[in-house]
Each structure stands twice: as structure tokens, then as C-alpha cells.
Structure 1
Amino acid sequence: MGGGLMLRPWSVCSSRTGHLAMETLLSLTSKRAGDWFKEELRLLGGLDHIVDKVKECVDHLSSDENEEKLVASLWGAERCLRVLESVTVHNPENQSYLIAYKDSQLIVSSAKALQHCEELIQRYNRAEDSICLPDNKSLPHQNVTNHVGKAVEDCMRAIIGVLLNLTNDNEWGSTKTGEQDGLIGTAMNCVLQVPKFLPQEQRFDIRVLGLGLLINLVEYSARNRHCLVNMETSCSFDSLCAGEGDESLKITGQIDAVQALVQLFLECERAAQLAESQTDELIKEAPTAQHDKSGEWQETSGEIQWVSTEKSDSTEEKEKKEEDDEELDLNKALQHAGKHMEDCIVASYTALLLGCLCQESPINVTTVREYLPEGDFSIMTEMLKKFLSFMNLTCAVGTTGQKSISRVIEYLEHC
């Protein structure tokens, strides 16, 4: 076989064949794929081609006005990025290779793509997609908005997924990513502003992804910490940003990024406590299921059997109403429990981000204290301890995330 010509699937020019090859790669490079395959993909030049394809798609995002072409570019970038996300999970060799390739071309393209998506998600606002018209009809513009907006949203997730892998516990990747013009500000907007342009059920995901990226960027990079602390931003779109003791004093305009993050933490922490107490109340007040089991034991054909008595229509209606009420109470409890979990996670990620900003910086410690109630870190450490306990139950002990949380808790307790 020596000297033979190897046909590589990424060398095929046909667009349709290229799509098929990309879907095949997505299947083959899933997290179940062996490291040997991910290594071969790198050694045979597959990663080079995919990164170059990402750049090509991203370059088109700034020029494609036609919505069909725009969706095609978003789709192409998203599929390539999903492959790259898969091959960089727990694979330091591929991570290092992609950070270095063509002077960090993947990171440069990803930063540009994320900024394009931030602009597009506002233009194709999907937050109002739930508005229904009579007879289940929808306006053509709404269909376009939903189609393009969904493509933008999927692409954003894929971009942040790749950047998370390249920056996780990686000072080199974090530094290179943080150097990209406007990237840290865009990540902040993913936390504070972008969710308002998404359907309600999608907001949590993008906010947590943005927080995760910011944590990775500042954990090992003093430059990135300095950049974030000195940044001005807007309040979170769903935040009151109220003055101390007076919720009518709403802050407008730009505020310090640290203030916006502390405000987000405090509001999510309060919301989590409220949801928890409401869930407890619903459970306490829920009526115990007491279905009518009226009847009597009777001897029939030499056997003792329980024979239930017939229920009147009014009894059946009463039982039906009780069952409906119980189901309604259960649904309410589940909704509150889900809201509680989301608020807890956002509050925990935000506390971890603020804790990372404080590490090795007494000045940042003072800055964060200024915006906390009575300047007390205990509200943050308590939330982080709960989150750590949750992770210990659901994750393998000793992961980098758990170590980071433990380190931040210890640091804040000694501040």
C-alpha cells in the first residue's frame, strides 16, 4: 500500500457530500469515540480542514444578507464546531494543537463568530415566538425569525462549547481567548443581555455557558481578571438593579461589571430561597391522597373477598376534583423545584466567577465586598458549599471543577 493515494473524506468538494461527511464525523467523534480516532483525525489533517472550514463560514457571516445563505453559513460553522468540541473533550493534545494552529485561527474565528451571533440574535429575536395567531397560523416573518434565530442560537452554543474546552484549566488557551478584541464583553453579554432574545426555556443554558466561559477565562489569567473588573456593562436584563433598601431607585446606563455580577448573584440567591420555601409550602399543604376505599369483607363461594360499595355520582365528582387538585399542586411543586435548581446553579456559577476574580487580588476582594450585604462573603460561600455537595453527589470526586470550588471557598473564608 506504500505510495498509494489516500482519499480523505474532507477533501471532497461536493457540498452535499461534504454535509454527509460532516454528519459522519459528528457521529464518529462523539464522546464515545476512542482517543485513537481523535488522534488520527489530527495526524491526517482532518482538524486543519475543519478549522479552515469554520473560518470560511464565519467570514461569510459578515457578508451574507440573504437569509438562506446566512443559515447555511451558521449551519456549516455549527456542525464543524460540534466536531471540534467532541474531539477536544479531555484531549489535551488536540486542545494544544488547535490553540496553536495558524496562530490560534480557531480561537480568532470563534470570537468573531460569537460577536456576529450576538448581533444576529437581537435582529432575529426569538423571545416572542410563543405568540400565537388565530387558527394556529403564523406570520411569514415569524417563521423566518424562528428559522434563522434557531440557527444563531445553535451556533452560539457550539462556539462556547469549543471555547470552554480550549480554556478549561488551560492558561494558554485562556490567555489567547481573552486577547480577542471584545470577547470578554461578548461573554458578559451572553450572561446579562442575550437571554432576553431567546425563548424562556432556552435562557438558562446560554447564561450558564457564558458564566462557564468567563470562569475559565479569569481563573488562571491575571490579564483577563483585570479586563473584566475594569469593564463597564449594563445590568442583567431581568434585574432590578435597585438601590440599597429602595427598589424604586433603578440604576440606568452602564455600571461596573462586578456590580452587575454581584447583583445577578444576589437576585438568583434570593429567588432560589423563595422557590425553595414555596415548594416546601406546597408539599405541606398538599392534601394526602385519600381515595375512597369504602366497602366490606364478604364471604363468596367459600372465600373471603373485599367488595367495594358503589359510589354516588357526587362522590366520584368529589374524588375527581381532589385528584385534579393534587395533580395541580404536584405540577406547581415541580415548577418551583426546577426554578429553584436553575437559580441555584446560576447563583453558584456567578459566586464562583466572583471568587476567581478575588483570588490573588486584595483590590478585587475590596471591590466585591462593596456590593455584598454588609460586605460579607458568607452568602457566597454557603451557596458554593451547597453546589459542591451537589457536585459530589453527581460527579466523579476530584474533578477540576470541584477543586476550583473548594479552592475558592477556602480563599473567601480567609478573606
Structure 2
Amino acid sequence: MQASEDGRFAFDAEWYDQHAALIRKYQFLFYPKDSTVEMFDIKNRRLFLKRSCIDGLKFEDLYVGATVNVNSRTLTLVDYSDEYTKNILSSKKEKTLALIKPDAVLKFGQIFNAIYQSRFLVCNAKMVRLTRGEAEEFYAEHVGKAFFDNLVRFMTSGPIIAMELMKDGAIGAWRELLGPTDSSKARSDAPNSIRAMFGTDQTQNACHGSDSTMSAQRECNFFFGSKVRRNTAMHQGSTCCIIKPSAVDTNKAGEIMAAITAQGYQVTGLQMFHMEKANAEEFFEVYKGVVAEYIDMVNELSSGPCIVLEVTGQGDNIPTKFREFVGPADPEIARHLRPNTLRAKFGHTKINNAIHCTDLPEDGALEVEYFFRILSD
């Protein structure tokens, strides 16, 4: 199928049919003129979805690797379907890998915020801890150099956060935001850069960025390819925090993370998830028939990417303490009664209230396990 005159974009899409236990393949067509979608079933060679509007779907959501929701089906866009789409979008939607190194993980909220403020799209994110073998593999191009052992030792000294960023010219834009490799030089030459603000020297320089298209592809695949890198969740003395899709979509995730750590909490696990509707229903099952907003809660959680955190802190009963910090479910009530809570500051409605947190202390471990053991694997 060739690109049509109205400039539609074509992708190969896949949907996992849980009932049949197989992957169904479609051609996914998006018409930017009126933001409509059309789909064809590739195997059966027939129209699957006639051209229609899909609530909440934007052109910005479409790129190879993206997850989109169409009529309760969570589709993954796995490739471009034609040269027109590839030629137009491959340069505009360039990807790069960003790493927050061990020395800057405590400042991850501020770094995420800088990323969002610079108009990057965070396509993927995960907190991991590299083994020595993994670090040596990742930095294989530097084997034999004088700084190699120190670099590997440093990169395995604590957790790191890997992110897949997308933007027009993402590789150069991220390296510009990072600033010079040497943090002291960054402070003199680019004082507003990330390394100037959060780096220490040439090795402990806060963040890493891919230096070429080839490196970006290899490095993104290293962390987000078929091989699963173990997350850092501790599953002990912790609670679950979900930064909801509406808050991620409005670039509030970095501010929320910074507010959580400023309150004295520690984040020991972090991962971005694209929730299937069935998973959202399963996760919120305890509210079914109890909370009137159950269906809306499910639809919100499966409407786009969310960022899930394992949160720990000092003392006992972290789920209860953190829930008090998150505030009442209705942000309007929160703003009147508890204006310093997270939902008062970042929420909009009872459904789009920015954050889900564990309600009952005994459920903290269960919710953390659901994301960081069951879904993560």
C-alpha cells in the first residue's frame, strides 16, 4: 500500500489475544488531517476497523515501539509499513538512551523534570543495578582504556535509571542538555546543563547519552530489548505508587518524583508500564462493585504509559504514611483540607488525580509484587 495524497502514516501493529494465546497482526493507518484511524487484519486480508476517531489518540503517540489503545485493545506499533512513513518519521522521532548514573539517582526527579521541560518524550524507563559483566558488555568499546575499570566499578556501585527518550534530533538534543563530559567544564561552559548541576567530575558526571544513531539503537536495545534486566525493587517495608497516565502525559512525573524524595522517601524501584485493560481490571479488582468510579479508573490506567515506583522510608507502616502524603482521592477536597499533599498539587479530578497509592498496609507488598515481579517479567 502506497502513501495516500492526504499524508496518512502506516505502521505494522501487533495485539496479543489472551483468549487465543496468539499475536494478531494489523496494518495501522493514521490520518493526521482529521486524526482518524483505520486498521486492516493482515492474516485475513480484510478491513478490521473502518476509519474512525479514537479518543485520546494523538499523532505524538505514534512511533515504532509505542503502545496505543484502540477500542480496549492495547496495540504495539512494531515497524513502519511503508517508505513514506519511515522517511517522514524516522528523523522526526529519533530515539536515544539516557542513563542516570549512581551518583545522581537521588536527584532523579529533578533530572526527569529537566527532560520533560526540554520536550522529550520518555518512551521507556527502568531502574536497574548492573552486574560487572553487564557493565563491561555495555561499555565494551572502552575495554583497554585507562579509565575502564573505574568506570565499571562506578556504574555497578548502585542503582541506575535507564530511559529511552524521543524527540526530533534526540541524540544531539540530549547531549546538549547534558553538557560537557567533564562536570567542572560543564559548570564553566554550560552552567544550566545537567552535568553542571548534578555532576562531580569526568566519570561521576550524573548522566550518560548515546553519541550516534548506531549507539542509540544498540544501547536502547541493551536495556529495553528482548533480554529482561532485573529491576531493583526490594519487596520489603515498601509501598506502591503509580504516577497515572494523565500526569505522565502532562509532564508532571518529574515534579511528583522530586516532591516524593523531598519529603524524605526513597524510591527503590521504578519502571514505566503500558497497562493492558485486562491488567488494569485485575489490579483494581478490589474496587469493583465497591467504588462507583471503577470503570473510569480502569480506563485511565490503561489510557497510556504510567510510571510505577516502589517507595520506602524511615520507620514502620510506610503504606499508611505515604498514603497520608498523597492525600484524599478527590483533589478538590485535598486542596481544601490538605493543600500540601500530592493530589492537591498535581491532581485535577477524582479519576485524573495524578497518583494511585496503596490503600491498606497489608496490600503494599502485593501491589509492588504485581508490577515488579509479575508484570515486569
Q: Please state which band the TM-score falls in when normalised by the shorter chain.
A: under 0.3
Higher-Rg member (1/2): 1
Q: Which structure's relative contact order is higher, taking Cα pairs within 8 Å and 6+ residues apart?
A: 2
User: TM-score, structure 2 length as denominator?
Assistant: 0.23
TM-score of the superposed pair, with normalisation by structure 1: 0.22
